[in-house]
Amino acid sequence: MTRAGVYLHTPFCRSRCSYCDFATGHYDAALAARYVSALTREIETFAATRARDDSTTRDVDTIYFGGGTPSLLTPEQASLILEAVRACFDVSRDAEVTMEMNPGTVTPEAAAAFRALGINRASFGLQTFDDEHLRRLGRTHTADDARRTLETLRAAGFANVSFDLIAGLPEQTVEQWSRNMDEALALRPEHLSLYLLEVHQGTPLADQITRGVWREPDADTAAAMYGLMCERASEAGYEHYEISNFCLAGRESRHNLKYWTAAPYYGFGNSAHSYDGRAARWSNERDTQRYCEAVERTGSAVVETTSLTARDRQAESLFLGLRLMRGVNLREHRAEFGDDVRATHADDLARFQDAGLIEIDDERLRLTRSGALLSNEVFAAFV
């Protein structure tokens, strides 16, 4: 039986990073208190309505506090939210419970209290060890804050820690990125999420680049950085299991695997998305105030529901499955969807194989490293 994941959004940050387009705003204690009440009410309403439906998977083995900066919640607030989740779902004893944490936001007392609540994985937003780049990104912490927070987490008993690092920062050189990789790998986190910077329109960073304040690394530099991250992580014993994710043995993000394997997940909080694992996706109001108002009025803030056709599910199975470096088993795909990809996408497959973006080996279709870098081009063929 496929177990579900639960996602819990926290829409608060200390300040706004220049590249960020997430649904998050400045921390405000009164709004945070109101938001936590709304979030627990949304979960309880789900328990009283939708979770009673036989088609909803109540068995949950991953919980993920994402944001925003969930480590700005007090342990008491996190406890209230977890109590609501545990009352609504059958949460397995060995559940992976992750909290995204930003450097400098977690005191030793808070880290110990989060750990005592059963939060057993920290996803740690480092981004870079270069203070000048941190300033340019509008981050409020220094590299030393990051090192200290990691020590705090380890001392509190967090034995499963993931680092987020961004490559391709404005004006960043391959040598600078290489030094970031060296330092990250020397700290031996169990998991690494290594992203190439995406510049989202409407963010201050996009504006600065348009005005010529910063230059983005060109495509060749970005490719060199991606190649370097794959090589270094692999030499250090990390498995490259998803386009941007690397882990020590057995330390994949069990929660994020739900998204890539079309398992059910239920999202609570503003902008949260859900999937029933079969044919329906739904999403919540993005704005924090409007989310609170909607939940206070009706117990729910769902603003959009999509029913997936068989064709949608078949396409999703391909482009989500291809995010995993193990790729997609074409025989199983054909058995599930009646779709013989080798026949229906013969031209695309030949084109991508010639360009060195994919390989097919014993019925397994997978991206090559070059394909992982240009994955959106490949995915577009399957949408």
Q: Tell me how many residues contact ligand SF4 (CB under 6 A).
A: 11
User: DSSP characters for 68-88?
Assistant: S-GGGS-HHHHHHHHHHHHHH
Among 4, 6, 8, 17, binds ligand SF4 (CB under 6 A): 17
User: Is 154 a residue that touches ligand SF4 (CB under 6 A)?
Assistant: no
Q: Which is nearer to ligand SF4, 179 or 200 (CB)?
A: 200
Residue with tokens 């084109």: 351
- Given a contact cutoff of 8 angstroms between Cβ atoms, the answer to whether 62 and 254 are in contact is yes
- Given a contact cutoff of 8 angstroms between Cβ atoms, the answer to whether 375 and 367 are in contact is yes
User: Is 263 a residue that touches ligand SF4 (CB under 6 A)?
Assistant: no
User: Is 149 a residue that touches ligand SF4 (CB under 6 A)?
Assistant: no
User: Is 66 a residue that touches ligand SF4 (CB under 6 A)?
Assistant: no
Q: Which of residues 120-139 bind ligand SF4 (CB under 6 A)?
A: 125
Strand partners, 274: 282
> Whole-number minimum distance, CB 234 to ligand SF4, in Å?
27
User: Is 98 a residue that touches ligand SF4 (CB under 6 A)?
Assistant: no
> Whole-number minimum distance, CB 342 to ligand SF4, in Å?
41
User: Is 321 a residue that touches ligand SF4 (CB under 6 A)?
Assistant: no
User: Is 11 a residue that touches ligand SF4 (CB under 6 A)?
Assistant: no
Among 16, 147, 313, 364, binds ligand SF4 (CB under 6 A): 16
> Whole-number minimum distance, CB 127 to ligand SF4, in Å?
8
Strand partners, 162: 123, 191
Q: Which is nearer to ligand SF4, 5 or 11 (CB)?
A: 11
- Given a contact cutoff of 8 angstroms between Cβ atoms, the answer to whether 139 and 17 are in contact is yes
> Whole-number minimum distance, CB 320 to ligand SF4, in Å?
23
- Output the six-digit token pair for 76: 């008491």
Listed ranges 61-69, 78-86, 218-226, 302-310: which one lies at the site for ligand SF4 (CB under 6 A): 61-69
Residue with tokens 């599930």: 336
242-259 CB burial, b ≥16 within 10 A, e <16 = bbbbbbbeebbbbbbbbb
Q: Which is nearer to ligand SF4, 95 or 205 (CB)?
A: 205
Dihedral over Cα of 181, 182, 187, 190: its sign: positive
User: Is 195 a residue that touches ligand SF4 (CB under 6 A)?
Assistant: no
10-48 CB burial, b ≥16 within 10 A, e <16 = bbbbeeebbbbebbbbebeeebbebbbebbbbbbebbbe
User: Is 71 a residue that touches ligand SF4 (CB under 6 A)?
Assistant: no
Among 4, 6, 13, 322, binds ligand SF4 (CB under 6 A): 13
> Whole-number minimum distance, CB 68 to ligand SF4, in Å?
5
User: Is 349 a residue that touches ligand SF4 (CB under 6 A)?
Assistant: no
CA–CA distance, 258 with 79 (Å, rounded to integer): 24
Nearest to 43 by CA among 267, 281, 273: 267
CA–CA distance, 6 with 15 (Å, rounded to integer): 26
CA–CA distance, 263 with 4 (Å, rounded to integer): 6
Listed ranges 18-26, 73-81, 333-341, 366-374: which one lies at the site for ligand SF4 (CB under 6 A): 18-26
User: Is 206 a residue that touches ligand SF4 (CB under 6 A)?
Assistant: no
- Given a contact cutoff of 8 angstroms between Cβ atoms, the answer to whether 11 and 271 are in contact is yes
User: Is 150 a residue that touches ligand SF4 (CB under 6 A)?
Assistant: no
Question: Which residue ranges make up the site for ligand SF4 (CB under 6 A)?
Answer: 13, 16-17, 20, 22, 24, 67-69, 102, 125
